Each structure stands twice: as structure tokens, then as C-alpha cells.
Amino acid sequence: MLEARDLAIGYGARPIGTGLSVAVKPGEILCLLGPNGCGKTTLFRTLLGLLPALGGTVLLNGRPITAMTRAAIARAVAYVPQAHAPPFPFEAVEVVLMGRTARLGAFAQPGKADRAAAHDAMRRLGIHDLAHRDYSRLSGGQRQLVLIARALAQEAALIVMDEPTASLDFGNQAQVLAQIAALARDASAEGHGVILSTHDPDQAFALDARVLLMCRGGVHAEGPAPEVLTDPNLSTVYGLPVTVETTSSGRRVCLPSLSQSAPTMTSDAFTMA
């Protein structure tokens, strides 16, 4: 379980956000939403221990993350970036095998069990046919699935994803979202805990996620997607009228207005949780 209590985030002595509380456990998807510059990436980096917290505490399985080694953190939390461009033309399976680094000692080489874990991760995602393809020549969607396979090979209970569908076409977005949903409901274990950021609130509905809706470095609302992603909340945070509609199939979608003026935004509209 990853938990942040009354977290203050920022760079140097300059705070970007304060009063942030976050928790995610196995089998749960937490979706971070909010406009550009609201602090999502800074929060990610702080939760991963890449940036020191300016206040509050980050706990990983009950232990302060500041008391853990990078290797111990990597065994518990895997990170999937938006994009990855290796300097050399690695085969896809070699990229996945890099996820085993956290399980190896200093100067150790991957063994038979590590290679088996890499291949198993690719099979789980249905991309084993890409194993010996040049990673740099794969499509954006294929590369993203390879990075998710790398996280699976890491055997971490928690996976953190920074805008995993950014720059992907419609079909690849759907494929990646389907795999994210499958990770949380993995029947072979408790299921992975997943934290992901996105600019598309529809994805939170599709994943049946819990949502942390951020604005101006604070938490505007937190809870199940249907309770958080409402017309007033979305309109206030994004600064334009937004309507949440339900399709004939029961799917909820968010429709921003392209013609109406933005609602008046005041400092009182933003709360820090």
C-alpha cells in the first residue's frame, strides 16, 4: 500500500502543493486528473521518492519511503513513463528484462528465471510476438505495452503510470486501458494497485477508478469517479462549462462546451484536502 499524509510538494523551498493525502492499495485504480500545472507530475515524483517532500510523509507498506533504499522501493513500486526512447536498438524483450534489475544484486546478470519472467509478462499482455522486434521501431501503443510488461516483470505490487495513453491513437488507447483494468483485477494475485494520470476524465469512468481531482496544487475532490466527476467540479477545475452525460449503453462521458464562456472561478472554489 502507498500512502501520503498531509503532503507538501515542490522544488527546493518553493511549494507547489500542500495538504495532499493519497492512498492506493492492491486491486485499486487511482486516477489523477487536473489541468496542466496543477502538480500531478510533481506529486508523482514525490510519491516515487525522486523528489523530497517539503512536508508530510510518504509511506510504502507502512514504512517511510525516506528510510528505504532505491532497490527496496523499486521492488514495491514500478514506474511506467509517458514515453521511452532507448539510446540503442534493444529488442523488446530486453527492455522488459530491464524490469528485473530491482531483483538483482550488484553486478549480477539476468538468469534463466529473470528471462522467463520477462517472457511471461509479455505473454500476459498478448505481445510476446514482439519479443525479438526492435523496440525503437514499434508503434507508440506497442512501446507502451512493452513498458507495462517491464513493470510486470519487476513484480511490484504497485504500478505508477504517467499519462500512459498520451499521444496514442484511439485504438491503442483502448488497448492500453483494457490492460490497465486487467492489472487491477488480476485473479492470480490480489491485483495490482495502479496510480495513473490522464487528461481525459472519460478514462476514469471507463476504468471504474477512484479519482483525485487536483487544481492549483491542492485536492478539489476525491472519491469514486461518479461522485467526483460532476458538472460543477469539472466546470470549476477546467474553467469552462462541462456536462456529464450517460450514453444508451450506460457509459458516462464528459462533454465540454466549445462556445459558452467559462464559469467565474474564485479562490473559495478550491479546497485543500
Contact 149, 129 (CB under 8 A): no
CATH homologous superfamily of 2-269 equals P-loop containing nucleotide triphosphate hydrolases (3.40.50.300)
Q: Where are the domains of the chain?
A: 2-269
pLDDT of residue 107: 63
Burial of 80 (0-12, 13-18, 19+ CB in 10 A): buried
pLDDT of residue 190: 65
Q: Which residues of the chain have pLDDT under 50?
A: 262, 264-273
Q: Tell me: the pLDDT tens digits for 97-147?
A: 999 987 776 667 888 999 999 999 999 888 999 999 999 899 888 888 999
pTM: 0.84
**Going edge to edge, which strands form the sheet with 210-215?**
77-80, 158-162, 193-197, 29-33, 210-215, 218-224
Residue type, 131: A
- Three cell numbers written together for 123: 505473454
pLDDT of residue 81: 85
pLDDT of residue 122: 94
pLDDT of residue 189: 59
Spatial distance between the Cα atoms of 202 and 255, rounded to a whole number of angstroms: 9
